[in-house]
Amino acid sequence: MCPVEMTDPDPSVIANIAVPPFARVPVPTRLFAGRAARFAALAEGHDLGPYLRFLAALSAAQAAIQEGLPEPQRVASDFLARAKEHRMPPLDRSGFEADAVFGATFARLLAAAERITPLPPPAQAALARVQAADAAARDAMIRNVLAESIPVEALAEHVFVAAALQVHFARRAAQFDAASLESVGEGVCPTCGGAPSSTVIVHWPQAPGTRFCSCALCGTLWNHVRSKCTLCGSTRKIVFQEIESETEGAGTVKAETCDDCHGYVKILNWQKDRALDPIADDVATLGLDLLVRELGFRRGGVNPFLIGY
């Protein structure tokens, strides 16, 4: 038997192996401008048209208010070291303090929201309530959004608070080198510790067809194995559900249901349509939520803009 000749691996071949990055942090202006365009496109002929158009304008405001905003304060290096040691995300939600930069972001967002035309009357009333809220009431709303527990009766008010927090946390997430982020748990954002709004099958050349969770708050994308429940990690009984209709379906948005934890998250396919947005398409596919809920599954994705669910 001839010995097999062993040679050093060709580095260029290794470089060609598609290895998905673990995480990707957002480019905040692009994130919200893209979302605004997607909401506007989805609004055409949609049952939720007026609401989606309002969210298009709100997302456009989230992009526009960033110009000239001071840079958020970077996380202290000793906190980062501690977080890494304990496998905690570098952005601490429970210890969040509304500083001057967040205050400016919030004020700009509210001012920009006031200029949205037409502002649907329920949104107008909710905006007025947020503007009239004192510091303690605003702080309580901030805590609700960060804890992912928004009271059902005050969803409309929290839309504005969540919009401001999304801008602030996306800008903070953008300060990190994605390569420095590490897993902090199944289905948990490695930057801010949040839940995904939905998940995406990406079209990226270095990782085509791999899946990423999309953080509902900071917009970080992180790798998660396909056909594995993002809620409980089970791979046993995963089933995909979808609706075939003009505005939903066509294989671009599905719900991944898990018979082990009876939860589901949506999967958007960028290989089929790059315009899909993890927040906008989630809101616009409310019919899919209603269908899957009827089948007995509980929603696992977090989305502060999803109403009527």
260 binds Zn ion (CB under 5 A): yes
Question: Which conformational region is residue 133 in: left (phi greater than 0), alpha (psi within -120 to 50 degrees), or beta?
Answer: beta
- Residue (55 or 173) nearer to Zn ion, CB: 173
Residue 200 near residue 180, CB atoms below 8 Å:
no
> Residue 189 and residue 219: Cα distance in Å, rounded?
9
DSSP code at position 178: G
Tokens read off for 255 = 């719900």
192 binds Zn ion (CB under 5 A): yes
182 binds Zn ion (CB under 5 A): no
220 binds Zn ion (CB under 5 A): yes
Q: At what angle do helices 155-173 and 135-146 cross, to 10 degrees?
A: 70
Residue 80 near residue 90, CB atoms below 8 Å:
yes
215 binds Zn ion (CB under 5 A): yes
- Residue (51 or 264) nearer to Zn ion, CB: 264
167 binds Zn ion (CB under 5 A): no
130 binds Zn ion (CB under 5 A): no
Residue 206 near residue 38, CB atoms below 8 Å:
no
Shortest Cβ 27–Zn ion spacing (Å): 15
* Dihedral (CA of 243, 247, 251, 255) sign: negative
Tokens read off for 102 = 């967040």
Shortest Cβ 212–Zn ion spacing (Å): 12
258 binds Zn ion (CB under 5 A): yes
Options 191, 197, 199, 269; binder of Zn ion; rule CB under 5 A: 191
- Residue (114 or 260) nearer to Zn ion, CB: 260
Tokens read off for 294 = 């009827």
Contact segment (CB under 5 A) with Zn ion among 5-13, 57-65, 180-188, 189-197 equals: 189-197
Contact segment (CB under 5 A) with Zn ion among 13-21, 78-86, 95-103, 231-239 equals: 231-239
* Dihedral (CA of 219, 220, 223, 228) sign: negative
- Residue (43 or 174) nearer to Zn ion, CB: 174
Residues that bind Zn ion (CB under 5 A): 189, 191-192, 194, 215, 217-218, 220, 229, 231-232, 234, 258, 260-261
